[in-house]
Amino acid sequence: MAVPPPVSFPNRISHQPSFAVQAPASAHSSCRMSMTDLLNAEDIKKAIGAFAAADSFDHKKFFQMVGLKKKSPDDVKKVFHILDKDKSGFIEEDELGSILQGFSPDARNLSPKETKTLMAAGDKDGDGKIGVEEFSSLVAES
């Protein structure tokens, strides 16, 4: 009986498909969006100036002055996501203390008293942070 000749196989090359997964543009909108995409820069400047003195911050007047009160619910949520620096879905106390800087990088921090007052006004469920719906209510009540 004859032995068949050895069978040779061509070198196998592993073909890895190359592709990139890209998230929809809407998923990145709050990452790249700045406050001046939503609000007038001059209004922001005037509002920041009006509350430059320590312990002078009034969120109701501030939200009105920057034009946030007149914005659509969707735009108010976009502002929330800009202010939510760590993208946790909430504005925690440390983020709240620097809320003015979310509108203008050279703005001052809120005092501890102002921060606590704002948290008390916005934190409807008492969990120590402000969610998007709570923020929307806070703006609507302004």
Q: Is 84 annotated as a binding residue?
A: yes
Is residue 123 annotated as involved in ligand binding? yes
Cα–Cα distance between 130 and 38 in angstroms, integer? 21
**DSSP symbols for the chain:** -PPPPPP--PPP------------HHHHHHHH--HHHHS-HHHHHHHHHHT-STT---HHHHHHHTTGGGS-HHHHHHHHHHH-TT-SSEEEHHHHHTHHHHH-TTSPPPPHHHHHHHHHHH-TT-SSEEEHHHHHHHHHT-
Q: Is 88 annotated as a binding residue?
A: yes
- Tell whether residue 95 is among the known ligand binding residues: yes
Q: Is 133 annotated as a binding residue?
A: no
Is position 127 annotated in a ligand binding site?
A: yes
* 129 assigned to a ligand binding site: yes
| Binding site, annotated residues | 84, 86, 88, 90, 95, 123, 125, 127, 129, 134
Residues making up the binding site for Ca(2+) = 84, 86, 88, 90, 95, 123, 125, 127, 129, 134
